[in-house]
Structure 1
Amino acid sequence: MVIARMVAGAGSALAMLTLSGCGMLWSCTDTTAERGEAGVRVDIVDESGRPVGVTAEVSGWRREPHPQVPEEGDRIHFDIRFEGAGQGSEPAVDACAVDEKRVVLGCHTVYSLMDFGREGTYTGDEYFAVDRPEQVAEVLLIPNDQSEHDRRTCEDDMKDGGGAHPPDIPTPGEQL
């Protein structure tokens, strides 16, 4: 009689755990969006490749020391413009300094909220360091939106992780 009650109780407990979402198996999958084509002017896209309605453009760049730390040598100083940002759409993009063969020398994520301008157009400038600034031939933008995405993966959080993620920031040596 006692064994029968234990078996019945265990079955009820397992059913409650399963119905409450606390089952042992979660269907968690991670996917990484394909990196879009880099350019000086890009239409920013979400993880599924759909445009978010914002364009980003590098309007100029130069090698020069950062005014707050000139002793650290030349950095890449570039001007950026976001068109269509605001009203709930505050994307971020990766800006990459590349050599003449489009090999990445360094990258930096730029958030449109950090730049200032009238509603719908944000302009600003950014500095970032690269190992060989004298080899920089161009600053390119990666069109994939990097803003405030939930970065939890299945490995981080089996229950709430997973889903589509933007591509990782390019690393030095990659070709765009």
Structure 2
Amino acid sequence: MPPARLLAGAPLAVLLLALSGCSTSWGCTDTTAKRGKASARVQVEDASGRPLGVTAKVVDWRLEPHPQVPDRGDQVHFHYRFDGADEYSGPAVDACAVDKHRVALLCETIYSSEAFGPNGDHTGDAWLAVEHPDQVTAVLLIPNDQSHDDRTCAQDIKDGGGPHPPKPAAIGDQL
């Protein structure tokens, strides 16, 4: 039988282990944000659904051959702008070329930190090489910030958990 002093200290040892993160998944929870409504102009929101004070907008788009690979035919060339973004660590959103039913034909994440215009504004352009460019009717942005996604409880039970953005949009997603 163990000494009484050892038994008296056991509850304290269990408490210290629990507080240090060496316990089971008692406090680790993950939440995934619901995908926001896609539009040509969106208020960017964090994984908790709060606005970040940044607006992302598709300025224009057109079908044309990419200058580096003109033999591949028309691609979607679009210009975008982030208003209110921090120039070093701003948000990112998914941009999708969609058909008349708002079904994604191709999506790409665009980052405000990569958008820098000639006058210091946060403008940029990107290309989407969709399989059937003649089906494109719009380029839409999804408001959920995709700039970072913290570790999940499954990846790191001690330091993971918390809110996460929705999965990035993919071909065939209804927006």
- Same fold by TM-score, threshold 0.5 exceeded? yes
Cα distance in 1 for residues equivalent to 2:67 and 2:109: 20
Runs of 4+ displaced beyond 6 Å: none
Match of 1:97 in 2: 97
Cα distance in 2 for residues equivalent to 1:107 and 1:123: 18
Could you tell me which runs of 5 or more consecutive residues in structure 2 were left unpaired when the two chains were aligned: none
* Correspondence list, 1:114-153, <5 A: 114-117=114-117, 118-119=119-120, 121-150=121-150, 152-153=151-152
Which secondary structure state, in structure 2, belongs to the residue aligned with residue 147 of structure 1? Answer: coil
Q: Which moved more, 1:26-35 or 1:76-85?
A: 26-35
Q: Which amino acid aligns with 1:154?
A: C
Cα distance in 2 for residues equivalent to 1:68 and 1:142: 28
Cα distance in 1 for residues equivalent to 2:130 and 2:108: 10
Q: Does 1:4 align with 2:2?
A: yes
Q: Which amino acid aligns with 2:137?
A: A
CA 1:27–1:59 in 2, change beyond 3 Å: closer, same or farther?
same
- Please give the TM-score of this superposition, normalised by the length of structure 2: 0.86
Q: Does 1:165 align with 2:144?
A: no
CA contact (8 A) 2:93 2:110 kept: yes
Report the Cα offset of residue 161 of structure 1. Answer: 1.4
Equivalenced residues, count: 172
Provide the identity percentage: 57
Which secondary structure state, in structure 1, belongs to the residue aligned with residue 37 of structure 2? Answer: coil
Match of 2:53 in 1: 53
- Please give the TM-score of this superposition, normalised by the length of structure 1: 0.85
Report the Cα offset of residue 122 of structure 1. Answer: 0.5
Match of 1:29 in 2: 29
Report the Cα offset of residue 83 of structure 1. Answer: 0.9
Q: Which amino acid aligns with 1:32?
A: T
Report the Cα offset of residue 144 of structure 1. Answer: 0.9
Cα distance in 2 for residues equivalent to 1:38 and 1:32: 17
CA 1:76–1:30 in 2, change beyond 3 Å: closer, same or farther?
same
Report the Cα offset of residue 87 of structure 1. Answer: 6.4
CA 1:64–1:88 in 2, change beyond 3 Å: closer, same or farther?
closer
Which secondary structure state, in structure 1, belongs to the residue aligned with residue 84 of structure 2? Answer: strand
Match of 1:156 in 2: 155
Report the Cα offset of residue 16 of structure 1. Answer: 4.2
CA contact (8 A) 2:88 2:113 kept: no
Match of 1:44 in 2: 44
Could you tell me which runs of 5 or more consecutive residues in structure 1 were left unpaired when the two chains were aligned: none
Report the Cα offset of residue 86 of structure 1. Answer: 2.0
